[in-house]
Amino acid sequence: MRTTNPDLSRRSFITRATGAITLPLVLNGLPLQAFDGPLVNDLFNANVETDRVLVLIQLNGGNDGLNTVIPLDTYSAYQKLRSNIAIPTDKVLKLRDEAGLHPAMTGVHRLWSEQKVGVIHGVTYPNPNQSHFRSNDIWMSGSSSNVNEPTGWVGRYLNTQYPTYPEGYPNAAMPDPIAIQMSAVVGLALTGLQRQSMGIALQDPEAFYRLVSGSDEPGTDVPSTAYAASNVRYVREVQSKSMQFSTVIKAAADKAKNIAEYPTNNRLADQLKIVARLIAGGLKTRVYVVQLNGFDTHAAQVDAQNSTIGAHALLLQLVSDAVAAFQSDIEQLGAGDRVVSMTFSEFGRRAASNQSLGTDHGTAAPLFFFGVPVEHGIVGSNPDLENLDNGNLRMQHDFRQIYASVLQQWFGADPGVARSVLFDQFSTVKVIKGGTTSVTDYATSDGSVQCDAPYPNPVRDIASLRMIVSQQQHVRMDVFDARGFHVTTLTNGVHDAGEHTLTFDAAQLPSGSYHVQVRARGEVLHRVVVVAR
């Protein structure tokens, strides 16, 4: 009898597994230490600031934004549209004269008073889809509604930062998971360019605490049938031998203890409590994904006798209490200045309520940012309830504008990188205080030569590099592969002042990362371009 799955090859497992794999520290088959020096640092973006953390809070089901952020300046129109579920004005937690929060959101209201909340109005996308599954895929992939994209927006970005992942990871520069999702599997948002998971999954808080307490006993919950049990044990054996991230996760958890008091019986708080502990414990993980289900409130959204309580109120309280505790915790743990949280939901609800004390699938809704670095305030205006789009709130911001803003303002990505990740250029909105955080130079120190990041990046065939020369001078631009071997010279000559576009033909090159080196006036600029098939 066959007891294991022979088709579960090592390579397939490496690429598809919902965790990262420990492999020898090699680059293209050779020991990584053989390539010590500035080139490897450039290839792997070792100078990119890695201590900034993004926590994505997914509200599954489609949150009713109109009862989350209540429009006080158009309250009569709001009350007319949803008289059976409207929140009374005297119960609204006022943010400004024109808007306030649902009364269950006392924790977020407190953060607002501390100037740690940003609200973005009217977030959706053109030609919105009101299917849970399809809209969720669109948000996760960061693509247009008419495109079925199999990779995720976070995964694509992380792949530009860690271009060979999972090959060669963990390593000395990045010993920890790049991203962690609190679920059974890693979702589409974290799927990289080769369809690989750019993070790992921690299935549930209880399993995590068994892990860090040393009480987890693999095999105690395997299926009863012999064939199924043997296959489950096989996968777990591969994981236990190949996936070493459990060791670093446990080590980080052992280094830090939560300080703030978290609410009990709160599924989101249970996840955020772990995230805070791992951040404070020193994990270099860039992105965490947590989630709360239940926002598909077609019926019984509110109590029949009191619209301030009911299913939606409970959900908003869970979110508010969890976020407030998490924010307090990370600040007390000394990580408040490097953590930003962002909510998202696959769509909002229709402007008008239904006869079942609920709301049906809609489109635009507000999105929240939380944290010390967040640009406090409200972006956009209350929805125009007298000018609906087939009963739905009109779009004010494309969700990809928000993604571009996060990539550029929080992670310091070059606009060209954000454009490649999101398949188009999107204007940004102010979500983070101050300037961007990129530590990569895009110009010589005297400003005589500037060079944008390659576009598109990753590239399959042709990439363009825009160079701006302030005065006539000699410029040389070369491309090297991951082993440091010269691939091609894009230019080597005198260029007049002005803008020049250079072409990198990658059509015949194998997948991998390539290093672009620009030399001018005795100075050197560096870029990384990823070739993906």
Structural element, H or E, at residue 159: helix 153-161
Least confident residue range of 8-12, 214-218, 421-425, 439-443: 8-12
C-beta separation of 367 from 377 below 8 A? no
pLDDT, tens digit, 9 for 90 and up, residues 324-361: 999 999 999 999 999 999 999 999 999 999 999 999 99
pLDDT of amino acid 18: 39
Does 8 have pLDDT greater than 80? Answer: no
pLDDT of amino acid 439: 32
pLDDT of amino acid 456: 83
Band (136; pLDDT cuts 50, 70, 90)? very high
Longest CA–CA span in the chain (Å) reads 78
pLDDT of amino acid 189: 97
pLDDT of amino acid 133: 96
Does 385 have pLDDT greater than 80? Answer: yes
Give me the residue label for tokens 């002005």. Answer: 498
Strand order in the sheet with 486-495: 486-495, 473-480, 512-520, 523-531
pLDDT of amino acid 24: 29
DSSP, residue by residue, 348-374: -B-SS--TTSS--B-S-EEEEEESTTB
Query: What is the DSSP code (8-state) at residue 85?
Result: T
Q: Among 189, 195, 218, 196, which residue's Cα sits nearest to residue 21?
A: 196
CB atoms within 10 A of CB 430: 13
Q: Among 42, 48, 41, which residue's Cα sits nearest to residue 437?
A: 48
pTM for the whole structure: 0.74
Which residues lie below 8 Å from residue 422, measured CB to CB, with a gap of 6+? 142, 153, 400, 403, 404, 407
pLDDT of amino acid 303: 97
**Who has greater pLDDT, 330 or 215?**
330
pLDDT of amino acid 216: 57
DSSP, residue by residue, 262-276: PPSS-HHHHHHHHHH
**Who has greater pLDDT, 160 or 223?**
160
Band (208; pLDDT cuts 50, 70, 90)? confident
Does 503 have pLDDT greater than 60? Answer: yes
Band (530; pLDDT cuts 50, 70, 90)? confident
- The chain-wide mean pLDDT, for the chain, equals 84
pLDDT of amino acid 229: 60
Reported residue count of the chain is 533
Does 236 have pLDDT greater than 60? Answer: no
Mean pLDDT over 171-200 rounds to 90
Band (214; pLDDT cuts 50, 70, 90)? low
Does 393 have pLDDT greater than 60? Answer: yes
pLDDT, tens digit, 9 for 90 and up, residues 443-483: 666 778 888 878 887 788 998 888 899 899 999 998 887 66
Instruction: Please state, in angstroms and rounded to a whole number, the distance separating the CA atoms of residues 394 and 374.
Output: 25
According to DSSP, the β-strands at 53-59 and 99-101 are unpaired
| Domains recognised in the chain with CATH numbers | 53-207+245-399 (3.40.720.10), 449-531 (2.60.40.1930)
Between the CA atoms of 407, 409, 413 and 416, what dihedral angle is there, to the nearest 10 degrees?
90
pLDDT of amino acid 173: 85
Does 425 have pLDDT greater than 60? Answer: yes
pLDDT, tens digit, 9 for 90 and up, residues 249-263: 888 988 999 999 999
Band (276; pLDDT cuts 50, 70, 90)? very high
pLDDT of amino acid 157: 96
What is the 3-state composition of the chain as percent helix, strand, coil, each rounded to the nearest 5?
30, 25, 50
